[in-house]
Structure 1
């Protein structure tokens, strides 16, 4: 469709055209419909706003934090309640909790991004190879997956961190190792649905190798389901990372990790409640945001769930 036709019809009509004139128009139309389904869910929009706020705070933490996250005033600002000078109060080291929560958003975003970048590709590769190859390959890969799924994620992550040693990097590796099996299951199920389709058979007849078929034609079909599952799992990843930090196996002091902040504040939970409550509230809000965003993405990306 030419540019004048776009101006005459309007962008909305052009994107919603039932007869797209190019692949670009078809892709933009699908993206626009997905966005409309997503924005129709107000809770999903709230979740998106929370996650965008997390990213914004993490990027500009140095400008937003009013005080140092690691240096405090032991003499004059120890365990102060929330006030105009310290909106979330101070901890037992005289450090501003708001500043530590703001800088802690960087660690939280660092963990969830790296875990997603490690675990999702592993699960995608394992699931698509198992589903397409079948036979003994499928049996072996899925039994390995079942072994990982047999253990609770936190317990398995604790075991790996205990073997690797405490630290934020080792915690990320441990969480990623325990997070890929559900993604493999989803990718395998999606692969089994399309493995014997006419589309895949035609590609095979054209002489495409199994690796090319998996990489170019099967994996893209699994991406939308995987994105939804990864987004929904982000809340669990945050809680596991906070649990490892709470036990002293995640980020080490004086890093402002939310789980470690809760651990240091549990001694004052009755009298100075804000020391543990403020980072706990941050975990709650961010986890809620990812859950709301994941629900919205599921409705928008999955045609079966949206009735289309």
Structure 2
């Protein structure tokens, strides 16, 4: 049966809306688009979630167009005799630091490092957590016991303390900081994936797929993992603020990005000795961390309401 095509671009918005909200979709594509549209309407109705989305989108755009938004060099300062520790002004919007570098340029270019850390940690940690959780929940028994006890060991330590231990062993640097944060952040994802797997592993559709000869690996990857992803995505989004704070904490202690890279935590560390008289040196990157962390938290709360029906009730 040929699925009905969506309305032409010249059709009214009402016709497109009716096609997306059809009670009986004519194809899988129409059903997926319809679920996405309904979810977007629910997300859009939450003003705080929209604020979070705007902040995250702004962070991405600032990172992409950093060279256009901030034309001064974030690594090389100006004249130390006349441009050192200048307050915010029309020429230097966020002031200058102790090396006569434009703080605005450093904050803008630092958004690239922040976004890079968030993306890399999420890409590394999420598959590890989902794989451990789904395998543990699907097989149960000794496999579940071993994997969950390993997970409990990681959960027993505060995240920052554990990240400090790994970075100390690996050595300072942005790459090692990413690895250390990823190693410490996957256990909650494993817990969530295991809980979701336990609810579906004995479902009729799983038994049907197993009777058709599907292997355990295929069942986990093709049928169990997709059902776990909505809850995991919400947790990852909420954890992005924690990733930013952990990376900033490592940078503040000198174990993350190394000078002269414009990492926000390292900028706060460099400005703490001028906090009383030249407050802007530490305050500007601190405000950037606060705003971005708030944006990810608001976005995560909005996604939780959309993707987790139990939480919305």
Scaled by the length of structure 2, the TM-score of the pair is 0.96
Instruction: Give the counterpart of 1:38 among 37, 43, 47.
Output: 43
Matched ranges for 1:237-256 at <5 A: 237-256=243-262
Partner of 1:27: 32
Partner of 1:2: 4
Matched ranges for 1:134-283 at <5 A: 134-283=140-289
State the distance in 2 between where 1:43 and 1:69 align: 33
Partner of 2:112: 106
Equivalent residues of 2:114, 2:244 under 8 A apart: yes
State the distance in 2 between where 1:179 and 1:265 align: 29
Structure 2: any 5+ residue segments left out of the alignment?
none
Partner of 2:102: 96
1:306 deviates by 2.7
In the TM superposition, what whole-angstrom CA distance separates every residue of 1:54-91 from its partner, at most 9, and x where no partner exists?
Answer: 00000111111131101112122100000000010000
Provide closer, same or farther for how the CA distance between residues 139 and 51 of structure 1 changes in structure 2, counting only shifts above 3 A: same
Number of corresponding residues:
307
Question: Secondary structure, in 3 states, of the residue corresponding to 1:10?
Answer: helix
* 73-82 or 182-191: bigger deviation: 73-82
Scaled by the length of structure 1, the TM-score of the pair is 0.97
Partner of 1:284: 290
1:3 deviates by 4.3
1:4 deviates by 8.3
Matched ranges for 1:12-23 at <5 A: 12-23=17-28
State the distance in 1 between where 2:275 and 2:207 align: 63
Segments of 4+ moved more than 6 angstroms: none
State the distance in 2 between where 1:98 and 1:33 align: 40
State the distance in 2 between where 1:140 and 1:2 align: 50
1:5 deviates by 6.9
State the distance in 2 between where 1:2 and 1:206 align: 31
Equivalent residues of 2:6, 2:16 under 8 A apart: no
Question: Secondary structure, in 3 states, of the residue corresponding to 1:189?
Answer: helix
In the TM superposition, what whole-angstrom CA distance separates every residue of 1:78-128 from its partner, at most 9, and x where no partner exists?
Answer: 000000000100000000000000000000000000000000000000000
Provide closer, same or farther for how the CA distance between residues 28 and 277 of structure 1 changes in structure 2, counting only shifts above 3 A: same
1:2 deviates by 3.5
Provide closer, same or farther for how the CA distance between residues 28 and 95 of structure 1 changes in structure 2, counting only shifts above 3 A: same
1:19 deviates by 1.0
Question: Secondary structure, in 3 states, of the residue corresponding to 2:186?
Answer: helix
Partner of 1:65: 70
